[in-house]
Amino acid sequence: MAETVHSSFQGKGSDGSKNVIVDTGCANLSSVKFAIQRLGFSATITDNIELIKGADKVILPGVGSAKHAMANIIDKGLVETLQSLTQPVLGFCLGMQLMAESSTEGKSAEEGANGSIVKCLGVIPTVVEPLNAQGNRLPHMGWNTLTNVADHPVLKGISVDDYFYFVHSFAAPLSEYTIASCEYGSEFSAVIAKDNYIGCQFHPERSSALGSKIIKNFLELSALELSPKELTAL
């Protein structure tokens, strides 16, 4: 299990940058950290508000349910901090979904109609809904290709038909914030972005060389590259 740091950064990247992985209490933090270290960068796993605010780049990972993840984020007092960040932020899988306005993942089969829609961080104006797999087995798990890729700095060197690793049953629909899409029964957002917030539905840390390319693109981003003119949706 990766150690969560509460008071100071665990070193800086080769370029002096301070990168943070947010400890949401529901993510494979070690695999994300190792993926960053393989690229020659350092990262600190933390739920410390001041460390998150002081980071140059913030990664929001997550696995499991939106309901559980948001409960953890609320308990840790991180909601306002995560909503107000101005540095580049990258969400992985559930971390991407937490950037949406809401998720229907709170409506479990056990709860039925009594289940609630989960209010998420709301930093990207979209919603997360059940994936319309058109009879395909759920969860959507394994390698799949991108069907469209927009011009965006984090997607530099990424093309249509490139493979990435997915594990999910919920997804954000195509919208003006979609910068890459995928199809599994129907098309859905594989990557979304608004201003400094970017989210990947797939797992970059488990997507081999192309996933590493996205992480490296993100870690090398400058704030100027995320100006509105750069955010060209599909």
Q: Is residue 152 assigned to a domain?
A: yes
Is residue 75 in some structural domain? yes
Q: What is the full DSSP assignment across the chain? A: -PPPBSSS-S---TTS--EEEE--SSS-HHHHHHHHHHTT---EEE--HHHHHT-SEEEE---S-HHHHHHHHHHTT-HHHHHS--S-EEEETHHHHTTSSEEGGGS-TTTGGG--PEE---SSS-EEEE---TT--SSEEEEEEEEEE---GGGTT--TT-EEEEEESEEPPP-TTEEEEEEESEEEEEEEEETTEEEESS-GGGSHHHHHHHHHHHHT--GGGGSGGG----
Per the structure, how many domains does the chain have?
1
In a domain, 8, yes or no: no
Instruction: Let me know if 203 is a catalytic residue.
Output: yes
In a domain, 6, yes or no: no
The per-residue pLDDT for 222 is 81
Catalytic position from the list 68, 168, 200, 205: 205
pLDDT of 62: 86
Residue 93 lies in a domain: yes
pLDDT at 176 (0 to 100): 97
225 is catalytic: no
With respect to residue 9, please indicate whether it lies within any of the assigned structural domains: no
The pLDDT assigned to 229 comes to 45
Q: Quick check: is 26 catalytic?
A: no
Chunked mean pLDDT (size 10), the chain, 234 residues: 60 70 89 96 96 97 91 97 98 97 73 70 97 96 98 98 97 98 98 98 97 98 67 58
The predicted pLDDT at position 78 comes to 98
Residue 73 lies in a domain: yes
Catalytic residue among 26, 93, 120, 182: 93
> Is residue 215 assigned to a domain?
yes
Instruction: Choose, from 168, 182, 203, 220, the residue flagged as catalytic.
Output: 203
